Structure 1
Amino acid sequence: MSLSLIIKREFNAKVRNKSFIVMTFLSPLLVVVMGCLVGYLASVNGDEVNKVAVYDKAGLLKSDFENTDYTVYTDLSGMPLEKAKEKASEGYLGLIYIPQVDSLPQLVNKVEYITNETPNLEYVSEIEGVVNSKLTKYNLEQLGFDSDKIDKAKTKSNIHLSKFSGEETFKEGSILKIALGGLSGYLIMMFVIIYGNMVMRSVIEEKTNRIIEIIISSVKPFQLMMGKIIGTSLAGILQFVIWAILGLTLFFVLNMVFGVQMGAAASQPEAAAATQEAMSSIQIYLSEFAKLPLATIFISFLLYFIGGYFLYSSFYAAIGAAVDSETDSQQFLLPIIMPLMLGVYVGIFTVISDPHGTVATVFSMIPLTSPIVMLMRIPFGVPMWQIIVSLLILFGTFFAVVWFASKIYRIGILMYGKKPSYKEIFKWLKY
């Protein structure tokens, strides 16, 4: 039995599985429906008007709380405090209580927001902003400054970015690079986890059913392991392509034919009008996208995708061969998942702030994290020699791991009824 036959067998076994077929065509529909549901719920939530009561006997702040499209303030200062609290608890979101003080600065820590619900932190910040603005204006006037003139003097600058070559750049370019790099790294991580587990379950299933004893008589363990990895990856890539096509098609149909929007954007009325500023932003993003090293990003994504998946799938296949059930595999999965999570955290906390720093560069060379970290760095511009060195290390490590994993696979695939320890697995590497 050749490697190509094993790959074909694994591929057909996956794509003809009923659960694979159902999830392939059902998942995009569920994602789009969930997105539309989130958009609808966000629009419903955005249409709600919150009624908030204000109790300010001295009249120090009540005029500063102005009604908006989403919040309406009602002054209950004309009634006793206990009566105001009772009324506010029945028909209002909450009550803003401003105690009577000798001077305005004494309110700095005395304003109280009373509500039976868990307070919305964003709204609490808005209340604090009103109080801070009032106190700041009062303090400026006490120091002899004209607060109105100071407000008029405030301005907002816009720094122009350019390279030493004279080429103009935009802040939107950095946002685009972060989004593109993060998406690439995230896709690889999810693919490795989902389809690596699929490889492991396939090995465990055949081992449990004793089918493997028949197969192993006519094929080498190394070929069987590689066949499972490649066959499962091809099935996974096919599923991803179908998801992308169906998801985009469904989104386009719902958006263009039925006017349904996904996500929270459906709750923003201003998003409905195509303003000149919005069109300008789109043009900037498109312009910055065209400046990215798209060919390098695409080719690198494919290479790191293949290298990263094959590397981790070798671990998953070895684990599947060493254990008798998925429950027994849990103790071995953490060392595999940890480098993936480390790559994500390094990407978020170091690549975004300093894509060419020492930490980001080092982790983009380490094979267990390079598929994620390097892909997050490439949109910011990485020297070609670093990419080549990183890929050589990644694929070199892959072949080394496959060689070691095949030793574990060769012994563990015929072991039954015993939970292996790390010590015993290390012994298998010597056989």
Structure 2
Amino acid sequence: MNKTLLVAQREYVEHLRTKTFWIGVLIAPIGIALVYTLMFLLAGKTDLRKYAVLDHSEGAWVSKVIDRRIADDDLDKILGSRKISTEERRPLLDQAKAKLSKLPQGHPLRELLTAMVSSGVLAEIDKAGGWDKASSALKARIYGIVVPWALRVSQSEKQRVQVTSVATGMAMKDYVRVPVPDEGEDTEKVLNQKLQKGEIFAYFVIGSDPLAEEHHSKYVSNNLTDFKLRSWYGDYVTKVVRERHVQRLKKEKDLTPGDVAAIQRSFRFEEKKLSATGEEEAVVESDKVRKYAPLAFVYVLWMAVFMAAQMLLTNTVEEKSNRIIEVLLSSVSPTQLMHGKIYGIALTGLTVVGSWALFFVVGVKLAPSLLSGSTEAQFAKLGLDHVISDPAYLGSFLAYFLSGYLIYAAILVALGSVCNSLKEAQNLQQPVVFLLMVPFVVMFPIVGDPNGTLARIITYIPLYTPFAMMNRAGGPPPLWEYLASSGVILATLWIAFRGAAKVFRVGVLMTGKPPRLGEILKWLRAPVS
């Protein structure tokens, strides 16, 4: 038993003596903290969504009621809750004056609060017993002040930021309704042009009879993966239409099953997108699959780099410890040896990925013959066969897969060359693992908004460019971004291979004590022969 404890002690101390162990110990909590911080910051974060509403209902009653509902929700953010118990309720007039005293001159909220105070409507609501007991006429007066103010302020980026930084959670923080151009019958055509130019994210068309089962309402957008705007506005429409159904049915004596179904039914917009020529097209399941397909490609690259990390690090260490590396260097130069290792393991990774792809293709082709009835029809709607045969996707995948693989391979082979044992290699692998967590964390937000701010920022971080551009293939990005990102990738490859060659040629022949960071930096500054 004593000898067992001695062996355990030796193993424990051996690990603790290595610098790479302590690097791993420090990087692990820091990396986890950064990843979770990034996830927290990205949760629900999207670019501002500008939208328009073309309301064909009588007197545009649907959008008018929704404007008042949004204003009602925003008032809670501005004044605080108005719907609490009488004992705890603070007069609205006092709340407004307290807010006014804290706001600087020229602040957009001062204009709103001043208008509400000077109109006397807040005092009348307080006199009536609070918001819950206020008449519809009093509330309508408040909405008459808030709705036009919100529409005007939201059109100014500066004022919108000023307001939402004080009254957090207001609708205009994420969604801004833009006025619909009065173009008569050509209004939808104008909105389509705005959508094509990126001036708006989407627009809604509400049918002339929203209470009918076939109300002919639609939601038009070229982003098929971000459904937050549609859900947010659709929830308001559902509530408003249900309430109108209930009001109508209260006047009738008997409820039919159809009436009950109408009350329970959610209001659904027919999804539309614009073709390359600007024409409206119905959104089908295969369109959504094509937009989400890049996720699979990114995940495959992510897995492939993980596999390469293990092979590149351990392979070099084993050859160093067995003195095989010295025999190899008698026949080839260090740079040739490094390149050969990278390309050989890259081909190994491609073989694995190619095998996966082959199995997937065979599965997609055979699946229809193995399925039957409705299941076969549902599978056909996914359009997977078109995704795997799309030259744009396959070309992007091959180009970005190879470039991403080679960038990380160069880094890993350089790290492997300075390690003298598998323990050191495994400890040095941890920083690479945490670097790779970033594209894994952001891949869902990017596919949800492939041309948004986050996607563009990640695109120009060299270590993540291949992941980001592959993830954005469903967008797709404009041509200039393909060219710019290609330049970033080529420059990164050149720097990575040049730096790796400098480290590899010295590190691969070193034994004993691992080099310090200062020594490695000296190697990087040295010229390559």
1:403 match: secondary structure: helix
Provide closer, same or farther for how the CA distance between residues 410 and 309 of structure 1 changes in structure 2, counting only shifts above 3 A.
same
The aligned counterpart of 2:373 is: 274
Shift, 1:409, TM fit: 0.6
Change (3 A) 1:291 1:190: closer
1:196 and 1:386, CA in 2 relative to 1: closer, same or farther beyond 3 A?
same
Q: Superposition pairs for residues 7-406 of structure 1, below 5 Å?
A: 149-156=259-266, 157-163=268-274, 165-170=278-283, 172-173=285-286, 175-245=288-358, 274-275=373-374, 281-286=378-383, 290=386, 294-348=390-444, 350-406=445-501
Distance (whole Å) between structure 2 residues aligned to residue 237 and residue 309 of structure 1? 10
After TM superposition, give the deviation of residue 375 of structure 1 in Å: 0.9
- Kindly indicate whether the alpha-carbon contact (under 8 Å) linking 1:304 and 1:391 is maintained by their aligned counterparts in 2: no
- Tell me what 1:409 maps to: 504
After superposition, the C-alpha distances for 1:152-172 in whole angstroms (9 at most, x for unaligned) are 433342423131712414162
Q: Aligned in 2, Cα 1:377/1:246: closer, same or farther, shift over 3 Å?
A: closer
CA separation of 1:248/1:379 partners in 2, compared to 1, >3 Å: closer, same or farther? closer
Equivalent position to 2:517, from 415, 422, 426: 422
1:266-303 deviation per Cα after TM superposition (whole angstroms, max 9, x unaligned): xxxxxx7613xx566445433x9759993222112111
For structure 1, list consecutive stretches of 5 or more residues without a partner in the other structure.
1-139, 260-271
What are the ranges of 5 or more consecutive residues in structure 2 without an aligned counterpart?
A: 1-245
**Residue equivalent to 1:268:** none
| Distance change (3 Å), C-alpha of 1:289 and 1:392 | farther
Q: Which amino acid aligns with 2:453?
A: T
Shift of 1:150: 4.7
Instruction: Give the conservation status (yes or no) of the 8 Å contact 1:293–1:379.
Output: no
CA gap 1:151/1:245 in 2 versus in 1, 3 angstroms: closer
Q: When the two structures are aligned, how many residues end up with a matched partner?
A: 273
- Taking a change above 3 Å as real, the CA distance of residues 421 and 331 of structure 1, as seen in their structure-2 partners, is farther
**What amino acid is the match of 1:353?**
G
Instruction: Give, in angstroms, the shift of residue 217 of structure 1.
Output: 2.8
TM (norm. structure 2) is 0.46
Give percent identity, aligned residues only: 28
Say which structure, 1 or 2, has more relative contact order (CA 8 Å, 6+ apart). Answer: 1
Deviations 1:130-177 (A, max 9, x none): xxxxxxxxxx9xxx8999755543334242313171241416255313
Q: 419-428 vs 353-362, which deviates more?
A: 419-428
Residue 315 of structure 2 aligns with an amino acid whose one-letter code is S
Distance (Å, rounded) in 2 between the aligned partners of 1:292 and 1:284:
14
Cα distance, 1:178 vs structure 2:
4.3
The Cα shift of 1:391 comes to 1.8
Distance 1:246 1:296 in 2: 21
416 and 199 in structure 1: CA distance in 2 versus 1, 3 angstrom threshold: same
2:497 aligned counterpart, secondary structure: helix
1:204 to 1:187, Cα distance in 2 relative to 1, 3 A: same
TM-aligned CA distance change 1:377 to 1:322, over 3 Å: same
What amino acid is aligned across from residue 292 of structure 2 in structure 1?
Answer: A
Number of the residue aligned with 1:130: none
